[in-house]
Amino acid sequence: MSKDLLTLKGVHTHIGAYHILHGVDLTVPRGQLTMLLGRNGAGKTTTLRTIMGLWKASQGRIEFNGTDITALATPQIASMNVAYVPENMGIFSDLTVRENMLLAARGAKHAGQMDDTRLKWIFSLFPAVEKFWNHPAGKLSGGQKQMLAVSRAIVEPRELLIVDEPSKGLAPAIINNMIDAFAQLKASGVTILLVEQNINFAKRLGDTVAVMDNGVVVHSGSMKELAEDENLQHSLLGLAI
Amino acid sequence: MSLLATKDLTIRFGGHVAVNAVTCAFEPGTLTAIVGPNGAGKTTYFNLISGQLKASAGQVTLDGRDLSGLSPSQRTRAGLGRAFQLTNLFPRLSVLENVRLAVQAARDGAHRRGLNLWSIWSDHRALMQRADEVLNEVNMADKENELVANLPHGDQRKLEVALLMALESKVFMFDEPTAGMNAAEAPVILNLIRKLKQDPTKTILLVEHKMDVVRELADRIIVLHNGTLVADGDPATVIASPIVQEAYLGIAKEAA
Amino acid sequence: MNKFDFDWKPMALVPLLAILVFPFIGSGSTWVTLTVAGLAMGMIIFIIASGLTLVFGLMDVLNFGHGVFIALGAFVATSVLGSMGDYTSSESLWMNMLAVLPAMVVAMLVAGAVGLAFERFIVRPVYGNHLKQILITMGGMIIGEELIKVIWGPLQIPLPLPEGMRGTLLLGDAGIEKYRLIAVVVGALVFSVLLWVLTRTKIGLLIRAGVQDREMVESLGYRIKVLFIGVFVVGSALAGLGGVMWGLYQQNVTPQMGAQVNVLIFIVLIIGGLGSTTGALIGALLVGLMANYTGFLVPKAALFSNIALMMAILLWRPQGVYALSK
Amino acid sequence: QGKEIRIAHIYSRTGPLEAYGKQTATGLMMGLEYATGGTMTVNGRKITVIEKDDQGKPDLGKSLLAASYGDDKVDLAIGPTSSGVALAMLPVAEEYKKILLVEPAVADSITGEKWNKYIFRTGRSSSQDAISNAVTVDQPGTAIATLAQDYAFGRDGVKAFKDAIKKSKVVHEEYLPQNTTDFTAGVQRIIDRMKNEPGRKVIFVIWAGAVPPFAKLADMDLKKRYNIEVATGGNILPAMVPYNNFPGMEGASYYYFGFSKNQANLWLVTNHYTRFKSPPDFFTAGGFSAAMALVAALKKTNGDTGTDKLISAMEGMSFDTPKGTMTFRKEDHQAMQSMYHFRVAPGARPGAMPDLHLVKEIKPSDMDVPIRNKR
Amino acid sequence: MLARILSNDYPRNRVLAVLLVAILLALAFTPFIFPGVKALNVAAKVLVFVVLVASFDLLLGYTGIVSFAHTMFFGIGAYGVAIASTRMGPGWSAIVVGVVVALALSFVLALAVGLFSLRVRAIFFSMITLAVASAFQTLASQLSDITGGEDGLTFKMPEVLSPGFQWSETPFLGASLDGRLICYYLLFALSLLLLLALLRIVNSPFGRVLQAIRENEFRAEAIGYRVVVYRTMSSILSALFATLAGAMLAIWLRYNGPETSLSFEIMLDVLLIVVIGGMGTIYGAAIGAALFLVAQSYLQDLLKLASDAASGLPWLSALLSPDRWLLWLGLLFVLSVYYFPTGIVGRLRAMRASA
Ligand SMILES: Nc1ncnc2c1ncn2[C@@H]1O[C@H](COP(=O)(O)OP(=O)(O)OP(=O)(O)O)[C@@H](O)[C@H]1O
Ligand SMILES: Nc1ncnc2c1ncn2[C@@H]1O[C@H](COP(=O)(O)OP(=O)(O)OP(=O)(O)O)[C@@H](O)[C@H]1O
Ligand SMILES: [Mg+2]
Ligand SMILES: [Mg+2]
């Protein structure tokens, strides 16, 4: 078993006529939380979508757990025990919160079969999910939808969790809960790949970090190193903290 | 005199009271931040003001005029401008066309808004000129012929603001304008808001979860919690108040 | 929004309508004849519409070509039943069933198989785009009708009802055709199976979710493509079954018979609300009853009874009687 | 001389009446073959038939006819299948001053108010249909209810039928939308009206199109329950299959292959069997008759296709057809012809080929067909 | 000058411009370059359909409303002229009265349909219009005392527009100089005028708002446009133009019936032409109508040639039989969605963009 759960080597992605990713190299070490940072439009979301098979890599190789998944279809990738929270949250607004959760729980045939203790844990992190259990998800507020999206991804244990900007639109208190949640998941052995704009979030959770710009990874290393080096932060992310 | 005011504004969804008797007034030349936990009712409050939702009770007044019963479009024409939490533009039209539509909407009288069919014979160069001006103000003139769908996220948010400027609204309502923007991009939007703030005739309402932004921009903060207005005052006091510390910032850890 | 506050109002519409018209009809036996026949007709309509509740109601595919599968089912039935003269001419209902059941199965298989091709070449490129769906499925329908003409010829083909299913049962002075009772049984069966699958299994949820956000469903690990193909095939097969029932009812099949009921079944679905099997049943029953009542009371208006009914329902509930929130 | 005779045959090769149109075309070609003794020539002039598809669309038929006369320079035209198309075509014949031989469109107005002198018709008219049918049911003490589609064809049919009724009385007229599939309500209205009538009770059905009510009328067991009989006119063979549900039912038909024993019909039936493995149908006989009329006229003019010559040759002309001798009435150019009073064989089996017995040939002299045109 | 005529909306592609000019010239000189009754009939039908399709494009391409009731207004126009000419006798006053009454009726109906459209979802609206249109067609055939029922109405036009009117005995370049020719050029002028008017409308401030509504109805309302009003107005305008197209058809055919102007088949043709030509581009209507109608009119002739050529292969020749022309039309529907998702105009313009 290799050290890295997920590796991307020289991945290129085209969307229609646009060439978006220009040879992304990325490794996600097993059991760690990897942060993917970068300016708007750097290609983070595209990278995650390419991993999930939602865009097809036109060149390069993606390996998960030693298997080449570059050409696999999305459902196959997801079935290899991968959970994904997309940037637009992917809430099924016609369905109730309960039904949304049920679909994410692949093992359960009906709501009664979902893991109770795990649900309790999710409810304690995101009270809104419990409160609106039987409501159509489309009626939730922006932040509540975000909570539901993350809850869905963690309703069953997964080996790899890929999350695109989970803190967007969340109140500070809930962001704290979410940080706790990721910390607990990590402690239970889950590998996490996280895109985040919230730099505090990144600093508190990240083990390793990769920074993208213009469709390539321009820096990778440990989070600690980046957090301590303000110059590096400035040149990579264009901000002073 | 306050420009915009709400009195006992309330809405119920079934048994759930999303906004509960909120009474509040907003002065011209000020920026008021609205904060509160997720699901507190901030967006819903905006929806009630701009007319997207019908209030169960209470009223909204602008310049002393009661807006109850007016449609969203009528409220916009009365001077309420609103940007949306999720970007909401005309994706397959060009940047210039997007702004021009707002300019056209701002012109008084049915004639200008295109309803008078004789206007099909008239020239509409003036509309284009004004649209160009607005795009210059937000530094997007170079992208005027791009389709909005092809713009990066940040530019789309900028365009949202440009539309409000073109509408020449008196009240500007921003719902998390920087959501999903990183620390390097967000300042562009914030600068635009800052620029608007300098106009003493404009009233600005801002919903935002990033406390550093709120702290820097707001003249005043109001706090919604479970639909009720629970705090109102200058930024420092409100942020320090126990309700914000606990329910919102989660310092004492116990969230909605 | 709680699942316990059951929405009973639409259910009351059917008996309400029946009771309301009673004073206008006057004669009890006439009323019984009209009502029972109308309800049974509703069941037949439900059977031919049931496939579309899946394809249009759940998958949101505006399939104008649905009628072709109805016609196809009916034509297949003429071929199958035509070769089983001994069974169809028997007076025994059970012997007849031995002919009709295989006809149904073969019709469903053929329609399902054609549905598979239809999904692949006609529908797949246009998921999510109603306008293109209209155009391309229209094209599919024209092609299908023409191919039926190439295979079975342009002439109408008689599809006589097996002996044992003919005739009328008498309830006092009121009469009800036997075949309609058979349709009620088949309809009830289709309804219960559909309802069970859609509400008691995850399939219904998955389809509804897949229509809204295909990518997300795939990201959750479900093979939506296979699911959609499956649903489309089942929808087509149900249309094939509907074709057999409809053909036997008319005792006569033509290549255009599917296209002729297209509008009717769309109306039924709109009344019922997209995606609701129960709604579709209520819609079908209302349409069946309404046609008989207006046909009896004001025949001139019978032509518009469906449209008037649909308009009235939409003014009451713009999404149909049982709308999924949208 | 020697120049070919060009004829346009405009009919529904496609569209709702495709099946009818194709029969006419077969009949026409076979008729020409028979009438010319297989030479396809009259007086040394070869007959060329140009076929055109009006798709059942009046506007298309109209422009096809104009193009036939104008661009293709045909000498005369035959067709079309549908009455609507025919009515749209009539003025074109007048504009181009060329003959249009109508077959098999039935509307009375073709040889009635919309008629012009270039129009001839070999097909039967609605009146001929209605009158012959009236002859078959018209008995003293009979109460009749009509069941017809609610549009011009149905209403005119009922009107003509009523005009022709002498001894019985029509007690109820039921009109249903053209695309009706559930007949319960309409029939219930008829039952409510008729169940207390004394004497013989008949529902007379005038229905065109794919979904005739016979099967459903049969399933309602009206005879058993209320002693109500059903009667209707003839049709193409597949449409008459449901008639077998009513053994003994009577009506009048334009054609049934077994009824006529003349030379032409025998030739038609035998040759049709050998070529198509089926008996000739309704419209095959029509096309055949049109061809025979045409050849008879051309023979009379010695192959001259001048319009005026042809008109004077055809007015009052008698000619042989599979249905016996027909005569173009001088006044309105309608072919006067026999109709057949039929009875469904007592032992008819539902679902099988329609089995009709001839009761009586209704001769032209038995029918008083009114002249409706203004000449 | 040209800019003003074309309302600043140029073809924006050289091939497209050439194509348009070619169609314009071909239509202008049809009677002389393509002599014969059939060619003239096809050209006249193109003229009528250009207007009909462009008016539908205003609704579908620019406002984003899918309505199947468009032929209803087409039919009203045709019946207006037909009924007035039948009742009042041939003459210009009959035409004027017919057109005016038809426009008024269309106005009222379009207003009602337009207002109803706002209560229900878009696809529901389409299905409702489908039902209404089919009911209207049945109604037209039932009211046979007025409309002539299934058989329709055959009537005469004023003397100058009739084939009987010869203003010169000697044919010019193979075309006989008669009333038909005058009638053709009347249609030509009307068609051009109405097309340019539609171009004006879609490029006016009003037209821009329609596009905004198509793109994002919610936001259009939010920036101050009352969607109801614009939608209704667009429905009415497009209905009025369709009515005029119907009147043109009746004037040309001197016949009208339910099949001719109300049938669902025409609706489908219109829909297909809009898509083939390119939605949301008035020019697409012109190109689509010309190509489609010419193809449709000669499809059966073409198939006959093909099936004769394939007579060696019985099954192929059966499929190619002219009687199966609908099969090929159906295939055209399918292929056009596959290969012309943005229509001819969209295709051509995209070529320029990527070149
Ligand atoms: N569907 C698309 N078609 C064309 N270009 C696209 C599409 N989606 C994304 N892009 C472009 O690809 C580039 C990378 O986008 P991506 O969404 O991956 O960036 P990101 O790093 O996730 O940015 P953000 O922080 O704003 O979410 C951007 O320039 C964007 O404009
Ligand atoms: N149409 C609706 N029907 C039912 N409930 C609704 C509806 N709209 C909003 N709600 C409920 O009202 C509450 C307030 O929602 P709102 O969107 O105003 O929150 P918010 O303060 O903007 O939150 P966020 O910060 O997450 O955007 C939520 O609990 C939401 O579920
Ligand atoms: Mg992103
Ligand atoms: Mg909000």
pLDDT digit string (tens) for E25-69? 999 999 988 888 899 999 999 999 999 999 999 999 999 888 999
The rounded distance, in Å, linking the Cα atoms of B153 and B178 is 10
What does chain A come to in residues?
A: 241
Which structure tokens are listed for D278? 């089926």
Question: Is residue C207 within 8 Å of C24, Cβ to Cβ?
Answer: no
- State the distance from the centre of ligand 1 to the C-alpha of A37, rounded, in angstroms: 14
Asked whether residue A86 is domain-assigned, the answer is: no
Asked whether residue B114 is domain-assigned, the answer is: yes
Give the count of domains, chain B.
1
- Res B109: pLDDT: 59
Same domain (yes/no): A15, A76:
yes
Q: Model confidence over B104-144: pLDDT tens digits?
A: 888 765 555 556 665 555 667 778 888 899 999 888 888 88
- Res A240: pLDDT: 36
Mean pLDDT per 10-residue run, chain D (375 residues)? 86 88 95 95 94 92 94 94 92 94 92 94 92 91 92 85 91 88 90 89 87 84 89 89 88 94 95 95 96 96 93 96 95 95 84 87 92 82
Rounded to an integer, what is the distance from CA D65 to the centroid of its chain?
21
* Interchain contact, D184 vs C155, CB within 8 Å: no
User: What confidence tier does E94 reach under pLDDT thresholds 50, 70, 90?
Assistant: very high
**B226 Cβ under 8 Å from any chain E Cβ:** no
Question: Is residue B207 within 8 Å of B43, Cβ to Cβ?
Answer: yes
- Res E123: pLDDT: 82
Same domain (yes/no): A185, A210:
yes
Residue of D353, D358, D316 lying closest to D341 (CA atoms) = D358
Nearest CA to ligand 1 atom 3: A15
Phi, psi (degrees; rounded to nearest 5) at E36: 120, 150
Same domain (yes/no): A176, A229:
yes
Which structure tokens are listed for E164? 């009987």
**Residue in chain E nearest D149 by alpha carbon:** E142
Q: Model confidence over C73-125: pLDDT tens digits?
A: 999 999 998 888 777 777 788 888 888 999 999 999 999 999 999 999 999 98
- Res A61: pLDDT: 95
Question: Is residue D234 within 8 Å of D255, Cβ to Cβ?
Answer: yes
The rounded distance, in Å, linking the Cα atoms of A199 and A193 is 15
User: What confidence tier does E150 reach under pLDDT thresholds 50, 70, 90?
Assistant: confident
Mind listing the domains of chain E with CATH numbers? 2-354 (1.10.3470)
Termini Cα distance of chain B: 35
Asked whether residue B123 is domain-assigned, the answer is: yes
Asked whether residue B255 is domain-assigned, the answer is: no
Indicate if the pLDDT at residue B253 is higher than 60: no
For chain A, helix (H) and strand (E) counts, in that order, are 10, 10
In this predicted structure, which of C295-299, E123-127, E235-239 has the lowest mean pLDDT? E123-127
Asked whether residue A193 is domain-assigned, the answer is: yes
- 10 Å CB burial of residue D375 (0-12, 13-18, 19+) is exposed
Same domain (yes/no): A69, A177:
yes
Q: What is the mean pLDDT of residues B10-37?
A: 91
- Res C4: pLDDT: 42
Does chain B reach chain A with at least 3 CB pairs under 8 Å?
A: yes
Domain housing A20: 4-81+158-237
Q: What is the mean pLDDT of residues E73-92?
A: 95
Residues of chain C found within 8 Å of residue D215, distances taken between Cβ atoms? 160-161, 250-252
**D58 Cβ under 8 Å from any chain E Cβ:** yes
Sign of the alpha-carbon dihedral angle for C113, C114, C117, C122: negative
Question: From the list D57, D91, D152, which residue is nearest E151 (CB)?
Answer: D152
Residues of chain E found within 8 Å of residue D150, distances taken between Cβ atoms? 142
Same domain (yes/no): A162, A230:
yes
Q: What is the mean pLDDT of residues B43-63?
A: 93
**Residue in chain E nearest B122 by alpha carbon:** E204
CATH of the domain at B62: 3.40.50.300
Residues 6+ apart with CB under 8 A from C129: none
Same domain (yes/no): A167, A62:
yes
Same domain (yes/no): A98, A195:
no
- Res B3: pLDDT: 86
List residues bridging with C271 in a β-sheet.
none
Amino acid letter for position C174: A
User: What is the pTM (predicted TM-score) of this model?
Assistant: 0.89
User: What confidence tier does C190 reach under pLDDT thresholds 50, 70, 90?
Assistant: very high
The rounded distance, in Å, linking the Cα atoms of C177 and D350 is 17
Nearest CA to ligand 1 atom 9: A46
Mutate to test the interface with B, among E208, E223, E231, E234 (most CBs of B within 10 A): E223
Residues of chain A found within 8 Å of residue B249, distances taken between Cβ atoms? 172-173
**A237 Cβ under 8 Å from any chain C Cβ:** no
Q: What is the mean pLDDT of residues A80-97?
A: 92
- In whole numbers, what is the pLDDT of chain B averaged over residues? 85
Q: Where are the beta strands (DSSP E) in chain A?
A: 4-15, 18-29, 33-38, 57-64, 67-68, 82-85, 160-164, 191-195, 208-213, 216-222
Look up tokens 């769908």; give the residue: B149
Q: Model confidence over C265-287: pLDDT tens digits?
A: 999 999 998 888 999 999 999 99
The rounded distance, in Å, linking the Cα atoms of C292 and C295 is 5
Q: Model confidence over C127-169: pLDDT tens digits?
A: 888 888 988 998 999 999 999 988 998 878 888 888 888 888 8
* Interchain contact, B256 vs A170, CB within 8 Å: no
Same domain (yes/no): A135, A224:
no
| CA distances, D300 to each of D48, D232, D307, D318 (Å) | 19, 39, 13, 11
- Res C2: pLDDT: 42
What does chain D come to in residues?
A: 375
Which structure tokens are listed for D320? 């042989």
List residues bridging with A67 in a β-sheet.
A64
Termini Cα distance of chain C: 14
Asked whether residue A29 is domain-assigned, the answer is: yes
- Between strands C252-253 and C157-158, the pairing is antiparallel
Question: From the list D53, D58, D71, which residue is nearest E38 (CB)?
Answer: D71
* Interchain contact, D177 vs E138, CB within 8 Å: yes
Looking at A157, A186, A202, the residue that finishes a domain is A157
User: What confidence tier does C5 reach under pLDDT thresholds 50, 70, 90?
Assistant: low
Indicate if the pLDDT at residue A42 is higher than 90: no
Indicate left, alpha or beta for B212 from its phi (over 0: left) and psi (-120 to 50: alpha).
alpha
- Res B123: pLDDT: 60
- 10 Å CB burial of residue E1 (0-12, 13-18, 19+) is exposed
Residue of D267, D260, D257, D293 lying closest to D38 (CA atoms) = D267
Indicate if the pLDDT at residue B38 is higher than 80: yes
**Residue in chain C nearest A158 by alpha carbon:** C220
Asked whether residue B252 is domain-assigned, the answer is: no
* Interchain contact, B90 vs E212, CB within 8 Å: yes
If you ran DSSP here, which 8-state letter would residue B150 be given? G
- Res E226: pLDDT: 87
Same domain (yes/no): A58, A167:
yes
Amino acid letter for position D100: L
Same domain (yes/no): A52, A36:
yes
Helix (H, G, I), strand (E, B) or coil at C35: helix
Which residues are near ligand 2 (CB < 6 Å)? A 132, 139-144, 169; B 13, 16, 18, 36, 38-44
Helix (H, G, I), strand (E, B) or coil at B185: coil
Looking at A124, A157, A190, the residue that finishes a domain is A157
Asked whether residue B85 is domain-assigned, the answer is: yes
Same domain (yes/no): A148, A178:
no
Question: Is residue D75 within 8 Å of D98, Cβ to Cβ?
Answer: yes
Residues of chain E found within 8 Å of residue C315, distances taken between Cβ atoms? 119
The H-or-E segment that residue E214 falls in is: helix E205-215
- 10 Å CB burial of residue A29 (0-12, 13-18, 19+) is middle
Asked whether residue A49 is domain-assigned, the answer is: yes
Looking at A116, A139, A157, the residue that finishes a domain is A157
Amino acid letter for position B52: Q
**B179 Cβ under 8 Å from any chain A Cβ:** yes
Same domain (yes/no): A231, A140:
no
Higher pLDDT residue, C264 or A240?
C264
CATH of the domain at A200: 3.40.50.300
- Res B112: pLDDT: 52
The H-or-E segment that residue D308 falls in is: helix D307-314
Asked whether residue A36 is domain-assigned, the answer is: yes
Indicate if the pLDDT at residue B154 is higher than 80: no
Question: Is residue B79 within 8 Å of B62, Cβ to Cβ?
Answer: yes
Asked whether residue A89 is domain-assigned, the answer is: no
Domain housing B52: 4-247
- In whole numbers, what is the pLDDT of chain C averaged over residues? 89
The CA angle E277-E278-E284, to the nearest 5 degrees, is 50
Q: In what order do the strands lie in the sheet with A33-38?
A: A82-85, A160-164, A191-195, A33-38, A208-213, A216-222
Work out which ligand 1 atom sits closest to the CA atom of A212: 21
Give the count of domains, chain A.
2
